[in-house]
Amino acid sequence: MRSSPYGFEIVENCSSCSFRDDTFFCSLGAAALKAFDQASVASVYPGGSVLYVEGQAARGVFMICRGKAKLSIASRDGKSLITRVAHAGELLGVGSAILDAPYQATVETIEPCQIRHVKREEFIKFIREHADACYRVTEQLSHECHNANDHIRSLGLSHSASEKLAHLILAWCDESGREGATGTRLKMMMTHHEVSQLIGTSRETVTRILGEMRERGILSIRGSTMVIHNRAALEAMVLL
């Protein structure tokens, strides 16, 4: 192992990797793991690096060993939409690699990340030879579909921006909220602008709706932590 300027070790070898847990794509048997290790190249990226850009031919897949990355799509006039945030353990670009189609999103790290990259041909060979890994791919893709469908539901079926925002906050509560005395506490790791890109509205609308929710006592915000006082009120706003 080498050390890195990002506060964590660079793992060169999958077998001795300490990041992995059993929710990871690479939670594989010894033989498959070794093959994955040999087919892939490790590297470390600072936050804000672009791993690949929407529309590029899919040259390979990217395993996030550590860190988080933001997937987004953009229209020609510059508007952009964040499709999701990928966490450690996920394999990115796998759908495009399998179909040999262009990447559908742009991926940008939002914190320092350790990444392993596998070339498309080698990846296909790898999963054709290791049934276990192939099954893991079906799981990864199922999760992606699931997420995408939720996003479609939110974008296509909601009546108002408040509904979408309420939906998003509730999802955040479930995934990373911590119960406290006055309600559920949440770290906001996104700016209003990014939130607006997540739910497909404008930055101002997000600010206004949050202001209104604050006024109605549903939640309060101090610095980057948000406290949800009245979860029921949020749920009532969502008819999805």
Contact residue for DNA among 10, 74, 81, 221 (CB under 7 A):
221
Assess 219 for contact with DNA (CB under 7 A).
no
Burial (CB count <10 Å: 0-12, 13-18, 19+), residue 75: exposed
- Residues 163, 237: contact at Cβ < 8 Å? yes
Q: Which stretch binds DNA (CB under 7 A): 3-11, 92-100, 125-133, 186-194?
A: 186-194
Q: Tell me whether strands 80-86 and 69-74 are parallel, antiparallel or unpaired.
A: antiparallel
Helices (H), 49-130: 94-99, 120-129
Assess 160 for contact with DNA (CB under 7 A).
yes
Residue 189 site contact among DNA, its own copies, none (CB < 5 to 8 Å, cut-off depends on kind): none
Assess 208 for contact with DNA (CB under 7 A).
yes
Residue 144 site contact among DNA, its own copies, none (CB < 5 to 8 Å, cut-off depends on kind): its own copies
Contact residue for DNA among 143, 153, 159, 216 (CB under 7 A):
159
Assess 85 for contact with DNA (CB under 7 A).
no
Query: Which pair of structure tokens corresponds to residue 227?
Result: 């406290």
Residue closer to DNA by CB (options 101, 155) is 155
Quote the least distance from Cβ 225 to DNA, whole Å: 12
Quote the least distance from Cβ 188 to its own copies, whole Å: 21
Instruction: Write the single-letter amino acid at 31.
Output: A
Residues 6+ apart with CB under 8 A from 69: 51, 85, 86, 92, 107, 108, 109, 110, 113
Residues at the contact surface with DNA, assessed by CB under 7 A: 159-162, 191-193, 196, 200-205, 207-208, 210-211, 221, 223
